[in-house]
């Protein structure tokens, strides 16, 4: 079928309607607004049809050649066929649409913040599999759990790809360390913004014999930036594999690294969450914390204290709340600093009873957002200002509608492009009563 692409939708596809006036929508990946394309029907979903792109009959002026040879096959990137300014415009429009879809129309102008579009990721997790007798690293093929061996990944920091190549070289060595490396099924690398320190987590399907320390020493010889590593027993392969927690086995070297951003050092334990874009972390911190001061602020879903440490310079007391808070409780200490290891719901439920009222609440939840219960508690606490940091515009819009209905006004709306070449986007929203 021939389709005219009308706009992009969250998830990376272009939206079209088969014929004028017909209600059904068709999603076609790797297209751009305004393009006339030929597509083939694949699958019917509840609210749209999915199709694959066959030919671009009339190309957009924003179309460009992908920067990676694996684009289209690899499940990681979605927008490499679009020039970078067009990617920014697409994401801004998607964010605007998400807000308007739930009835949020009186919005301030979206402010975009961008950085380097390549080599920005400070973390990658790669699968390791044997292909025709040789170990390869790779990701999942698009839309499946099938392994795709890769020869490059231009969105990750160069040190991460160098480390992956060295791991394969070590595994090819017929030594104790090489034989141990051959048992690895996945590997995760994490580096500092300046690429001077590297952490490694390796996942194995069964507990191996001795050799992990030798493997790490061998890696250290080849890549001096390596400061620590851990081995973990991966869950059995299944569709739910990623949902099951791996079991730690052995450690080597430091159990994390100190990540410097905005003149602060953050201790990030191996495997702990930290913002992935090494070029825009400081910009994100500034948007959230600059110009805010007072007596008391709460940082919910605080992670390793990315915002808490900055806010502590301007507030008399900061309460940082994190469910998986071991890194936070170990590092966020001192006068006016309190780390609480609890979920946001648990903390807020108690705070409502105690009738505590901060001047500022920062929330940076995972992709699922905060949900009705947290929004209800926030409405009852009625802090003068809330800053909501989100990585999903759909759940963000849902939560914002509840907060606006509870009396808050959206006064600033920032789009921070932490994930160039992909459909993912980060948003910072400032709300005031």
238, pLDDT greater than 60: no
Indicate the SS3 state at residue 48: coil
281, pLDDT greater than 70: yes
Token pair 């007391």 in the structure block, residue = 317
Beta strands in 77-122 (DSSP E): 110-113
Quote the tokens at residue 53. Answer: 């792109």
Between these two residues, 196 and 18, which has the higher pLDDT value?
196
For the segment 125-163, what is each residue's pLDDT rounded down to a tens digit? 999 999 998 999 999 999 999 999 999 999 999 999 999
What would the CATH number be for the domain defined by 123-260? 2.40.50.1070
Quote the mean pLDDT of the chain. Answer: 94
pLDDT band at 209 (very low <50, low <70, confident <90, very high): confident
For the segment 286-301, what is each residue's pLDDT rounded down to a tens digit? 999 999 999 999 999 9
Q: What single DSSP character describes residue 141?
A: B
CA distances from 155 to 20, 76, 82, 159, 428 (A): 39, 10, 15, 12, 23
Q: What is the pLDDT of residue 241?
A: 46
Token pair 């930290």 in the structure block, residue = 274
Q: What is the pLDDT of residue 174?
A: 83
Among candidates 32, 30, 54, which has minimal Cα distance to 41? 54
389, pLDDT greater than 50: yes
Task: Find the radius of gyration of the CA atoms of the chain.
Answer: 23
Virtual CA dihedral for 417, 421, 422, 425, nearest 10 degrees? 10
| pTM metric for this prediction | 0.94
Quote the tokens at residue 12. Answer: 């990376």
Indicate the SS3 state at residue 330: helix
In sequence order, the β-bridge partners of residue 430 are 387, 412
**Percentage above 70 pLDDT, the chain:** 97
CB proximity list for 106: less than 8 A, separation 6 or greater? 410
Query: Phi and psi (nearest 5°) for 416?
Result: -110, 115
Q: Do domains 1-63 and 277-432 have the same CATH topology?
A: no
Q: What is the pLDDT of residue 244?
A: 60
| Sequence ranges of the domains in the chain | 1-63, 123-260, 277-432
pLDDT band at 240 (very low <50, low <70, confident <90, very high): very low
Q: What is the pLDDT of residue 20?
A: 59
The β-bridge relationship of strands 26-29 and 36-44 is: unpaired
pLDDT band at 188 (very low <50, low <70, confident <90, very high): very high
pLDDT band at 235 (very low <50, low <70, confident <90, very high): confident
What CA–CA distance (Å, rounded) separates 52 from 164? 32
Among candidates 32, 35, 36, 5, which has minimal Cα distance to 89? 32
For the segment 20-79, what is each residue's pLDDT rounded down to a tens digit? 555 589 999 999 999 999 999 999 988 899 999 999 999 999 999 999 999 999 999 999
Q: What is the pLDDT of residue 330?
A: 82
CB proximity list for 353: less than 8 A, separation 6 or greater? none
Fold of 1-63: OB fold (Dihydrolipoamide Acetyltransferase, E2P) (2.40.50)
In sequence order, the β-bridge partners of residue 82 are 63
Q: Contact, 53 vs 30, CB < 8 A?
A: yes
Among candidates 423, 421, 424, 432, which has minimal Cα distance to 84? 421
Q: Report the run of H or E that residue 288 belongs to, with start and end.
A: helix 281-289
Task: Assign domain 277-432 to its CATH architecture.
Answer: 3-Layer(aba) Sandwich (3.40)
For the segment 168-183, what is each residue's pLDDT rounded down to a tens digit? 999 998 888 999 999 9
């Amino acid at each position: 079928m021939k389709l005219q692409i009308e706009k992009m939708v969250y998830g990376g596809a272009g939206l079209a309607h088969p014929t004028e006036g017909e209600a059904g929508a068709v999603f076609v990946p790797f297209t751009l607004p305004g393009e006339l394309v030929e597509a083939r029907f694949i699958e019917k979903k509840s609210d749209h049809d999915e199709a694959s792109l066959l030919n671009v009959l009339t190309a957009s002026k924003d179309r460009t050649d992908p920067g990676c040879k694996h684009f289209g096959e690899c499940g990681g990137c979605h927008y490499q066929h679009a020039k970078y300014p067009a990617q920014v415009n697409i994401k801004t429009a998607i964010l605007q649409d998400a807000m308007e879809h739930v009835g949020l129309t009186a919005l301030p102008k979206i402010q975009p913040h961008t950085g380097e579009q390549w080599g920005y990721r400070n973390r990658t997790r790669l699968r390791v599999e044997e292909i025709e007798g040789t170990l390869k690293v790779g990701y999942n093929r698009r839309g499946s759990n099938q392994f795709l061996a890769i020869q490059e990944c231009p969105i990750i920091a160069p040190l991460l790809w160098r480390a992956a190549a060295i791991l394969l070289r070590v595994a090819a060595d017929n030594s104790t360390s090489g034989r141990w490396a051959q048992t690895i099924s996945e590997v995760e690398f994490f580096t500092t913004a300046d690429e001077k320190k590297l952490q490694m987590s390796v996942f194995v399907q069964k507990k191996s014999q001795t050799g992990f320390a030798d493997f790490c020493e061998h890696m250290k010889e080849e890549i001096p930036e390596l400061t620590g590593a851990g081995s973990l027993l991966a869950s059995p392969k299944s569709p739910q594999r990623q949902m099951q927690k791996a079991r730690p086995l052995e450690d080597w070297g430091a159990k994390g690294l100190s990540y410097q951003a905005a003149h602060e050092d953050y201790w990030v334990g191996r495997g702990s969450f930290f913002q992935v874009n090494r070029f825009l972390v400081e910009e994100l911190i500034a948007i959230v914390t600059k110009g805010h001061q007072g007596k008391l602020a709460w940082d919910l879903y605080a992670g390793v204290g990315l915002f808490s440490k900055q806010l502590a310079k301007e507030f008399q007391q900061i309460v940082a709340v994190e469910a998986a808070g071991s890194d936070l409780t170990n590092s966020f200490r001192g006068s006016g600093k309190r780390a609480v290891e609890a979920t946001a719901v648990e903390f807020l439920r108690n705070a409502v009873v105690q009738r505590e009222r901060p001047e500022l609440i920062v929330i940076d939840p995972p992709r699922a957002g905060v949900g009705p219960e947290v929004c209800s508690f926030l409405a009852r606490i009625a802090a003068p200002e809330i800053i909501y940091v989100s990585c999903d515009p759909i759940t963000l819009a849902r939560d914002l509608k509840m907060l606006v209905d509870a009396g808050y006004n959206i006064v600033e709306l920032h789009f921070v492009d932490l994930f160039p070449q992909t459909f993912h986007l980060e948003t910072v929203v400032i709300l005031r009563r």
